Amino acid sequence: MIAIYLDIHHWKIHCLDLLSFENALKANIWGLITVFLTSSVKNYLKGTLLILFVVVVLLIVAATWK
State how far the Cα of 64 lies from the Cα of 7, in Å rounded to an integer: 52
Residue range 4-21, pLDDT digits in tens: 455 555 555 544 455 666
For residues 27-35, give the mean pLDDT: 69
Per-residue confidence (pLDDT) for residue 19, from 0 to 100:
60
Whole-structure pTM value: 0.34
Instruction: Tell me which residue of 9, 3, 7 sits closest to 35, measured CA to CA.
Output: 3
**The pLDDT of residue 54 is above 80:** yes
